[in-house]
Amino acid sequence: MQYDIVIVGGGSAGCVLANRLSADARREVALLEAGPDTPAEHMPLSLYDASFLPDYFEPTRYWTKLEAYMDPIGNKTPEELAATTKARRYEQARVLGGGSAVNGQVAIRGIPSDYDEWEAMGATGWSFKDCLPYFNKLERDLDFDGPYHGKQGPIPIHRIFPPDWGGLSIGFRDEVVRRGVPYVDDCHAHFGDQVFPFTRNNAYLHRVSTATGYLDGATRLRKNLHILGGSFVDSLVFEGRRAVGVRVRRQGKTETILGREIIVSCGAIHSPALLMRAGIGPGDHLKAMDIAVRLDRPGVGANLQDHPLVGFGLHLTPEGRMAETLRCNFLMHMRWSSNFEGCAATDMKLSISNRFAWSRMGHRLGTVQFGPNKAYSKGFVRLKTSLPDDEPLVAFNLLSDPRDLGRAKYAARYVYDILMNSPVKAMYHEVWPGIYADSVRNLQPQTKLNELKTNIAAYLLDLGGPARRFVLDRAINRRYGIHAIIKDEKLMEEWLREGVQGDWHACGTCRMGRADDRMAVVDPVGRVHGLDGLRVIDASIMPSVPCANTNISTIMIGEKLADAIAGQAVAAS
């Protein structure tokens, strides 16, 4: 099987590449996805459309659940991590559309300084001015027009404005405005500190992933586009220094698929793992894995970044809840400046989830989530074994940079002050440190049994007193009290280190940069330094994590590099 382009991974970037590169009928394009090819008409829709669909889909088909180590100090070796640190689950999508098919549908771009920093770090041509045309190209903004908005793209952008917000979101909006953070309707046209409605890749209450937006019916009719779901790539195939194909397990058989150019688009966790299994990466580590070193590039798997996320959970009063008819729970988002030494402006984020889940119990619970939006902690991805079926070792090292830990403490105190000393206090019965508890997450799948359990829990919550305490004692971790962690610096740090989690914004592990930068893996058009016929195009090539959920930035990367490959540049305005 011979193609011009072989794309390994049908995620947020891979689907974009498949669409744009197959637009030229002379180019044969193969898109390989380890998970199922699930066209829009066959995608099950959650009744609660902002839920994270791993808890709704069949996990073994739609997710790979790998272990992620959150070393808060950041000084353990891979061996020490595996032996001494408790792993947490960190889901990665395994379905056509990737993260865009299962995430919270947040479509925030970030701010100009994010992309100007990329260029300063060696990603020539990736300033905000260079990226803006591709942000506009991907989107169809349903609310706004103008130079910062696209109107013709495949991904709809939609907002829910304050008149439809729940009481908790409105209360927080009003209080932060009173404290000096301005409200804007449109975060894509205004930068700096601000509070605003979430932008979402959603139209008419339905998710639009890259699988549905870019691989629509007309695109799938192209005879030169070959979408091969259920295709697990074991390895890359080389002739000398040139990548010429991939070894694939598909439909119970192993076959070799050849391509003039191979594009790895497996995400920030699995793209570096695939490269390392092919002998591309840190030489000492590859030798330890008994892998022949094809290219000693220490940046492969390094520079792993994510947004450290912590927060408070709330049992909402009726005034604090959102309308039961509103399906989206992500309503209010804020970015603001900590003014900490050594930190960029507009470096913090806060978001309100005005409902926790689809159920009656979930309707009574909310969260306030916060942390560094411009994160500085870095981790790594390494192989556990050379076997393709073994998930890699992933160490995020969240809060290992003192600036991240210090700002997480600051944000906790900032939010606590709002909760205790503003009209927001009328919006909840009780508040506690922490966001996700397994006991609550396990109730998210929409089953008859869970509906019965959560209806009973909702009734007991509304009774108050001992009945409410009975439910909350089983739903949350009572080890930390919110007043205690604010008063005790040591206890707060213990809570943060134990409870911090990634925000599913992994990036940076095959970063762009100059060829003479040993920690850079690819050049500004995604070509792997030192090899031919091989590119990486996904969130792994980001030099640093943007001040935003990474999905829209990843789609933009797919658009920009599809243009680079096709030789058609969109003029920067």
Contact of 265 with 7, CB cutoff 8 Å = yes
Alpha-carbon distance 195 to 178, whole Å? Answer: 12
Q: How far apart are CA 534 and CA 537, in angstroms?
A: 10
Q: Is the pLDDT of residue 571 over 70?
A: no
pLDDT confidence of residue 61: 59
Confidence of residue 103 (pLDDT cuts 50, 70, 90): confident
| pLDDT > 90 fraction of the chain, expressed in percent and rounded | 72
SS3 558: helix
Mean per-residue pLDDT, 107-132: 97
Which residues have C-beta within 8 Å of that of residue 514, sequence separation ≥ 6?
A: 122, 520, 523
pLDDT value of position 451: 82
Nearest to 280 by CA among 137, 378, 386: 386
In the structure encoding, which two tokens stand for residue 111, read together?
Answer: 């701010």
Report, as an integer, the average pLDDT of 476-500.
89
Decide if 224 contacts 29 (C-beta within 8 A). Answer: yes
Band of pLDDT at residue 39, cut at 50, 70 and 90: low
Residue 60 identity: T
Structure confidence by residue, pLDDT tens digits, 57-67:
455 556 777 88
Give the DSSP letter of residue 319.
G
Tokens of 30: 């193969």
**505 catalytic per annotation:** yes
- Six-digit token string for 242: 């040139």
What's the mean pLDDT when you consider all of the chain?
A: 90
Q: CA-to-CA distance for 374 and 494, rounded, in angstroms?
A: 22
Contacting residues for 284 by C-beta, under 8 A, at least 6 apart = none
**Tens digits of per-residue pLDDT, 410-450?**
999 999 999 999 999 999 999 999 855 555 666 666 778 88
Among residues 274, 281, 277, the alpha carbon closest in space to that of 295 is found at: 281
Residue 245 has pLDDT above 60, yes or no: yes
Q: Is there a common fold for 1-65+90-157+210-306+506-568 and 161-197+309-374+399-500?
A: no
In 3D, which of 78, 517, 85 has the Cα closest to residue 288?
78
One of 3.40.50.10420, 3.40.50.800, 3.30.1330.50, 3.30.410.40 is the CATH number of 161-197+309-374+399-500, namely 3.30.410.40
Distance CA 33, CA 8 (A): 7
Instruction: For the chain, give every domain's residue range.
Output: 1-65+90-157+210-306+506-568, 161-197+309-374+399-500
CB 142 within 8 A of CB 158: yes
Q: How many CB atoms lie within 10 A of CB 140?
A: 18
| C-alpha 484, offset from chain centre | 32
Paired tokens of 161: 């404005």
- Is the confidence at residue 47, as pLDDT, over 70? no
| DSSP label of 541 | G
Q: Which amino acid is at 174?
A: D
Sign of torsion over alpha carbons 375, 347, 307, 514: negative
Task: Determine which one of 188, 285, 505, 529 is catalytic.
Answer: 505
DSSP string spanning 127-149? SHHHHHHHHHHHEEESS--STT-
DSSP state of 69: E
Band of residue 45 on the pLDDT scale cut at 50, 70, 90: very low
- Tell me which DSSP letter residue 532 carries: B
Range among 49-53, 344-348, 430-434 rated most confident: 344-348
* Cβ-count burial 65-89 (b if 16+ within 10 Å, e if not): ebbbbbbbebebebeebbeeeeeee
Residues 506-531: tens digit of each pLDDT: 999 999 999 999 999 999 999 999 99
Looking at residue 471, its pLDDT comes to: 83
pTM above 0.85, yes or no: yes
Q: Identify how many contiguous H helices and E strands the chain contains and give both numbers.
A: 18, 24
The contacts of residue 489 (CB under 8 Å, 6+ apart) are: 409
Beta bridge partner(s), residue 21: none
Phi, psi of 512 (to 5 degrees): -75, 150
Calculate ∠ Cα 116-121-127, nearest 5°: 25
Evaluate whether 263 touches 5 at the Cβ level (below 8 Å): yes
Higher pLDDT, residue 166 or 54 = 166
What class is the 1-65+90-157+210-306+506-568 domain? alpha beta
**If residue 60 lies in a helix (H) or strand (E), which one and from where to where?**
helix 59-62
Nearest CA among 140, 161, 141 for reference residue 328: 161
* Structure confidence by residue, pLDDT tens digits, 187-210: 999 999 999 999 999 888 788 999
pLDDT at 55 over 70: no
- CB distance 526 to 541 below 8 Å: yes
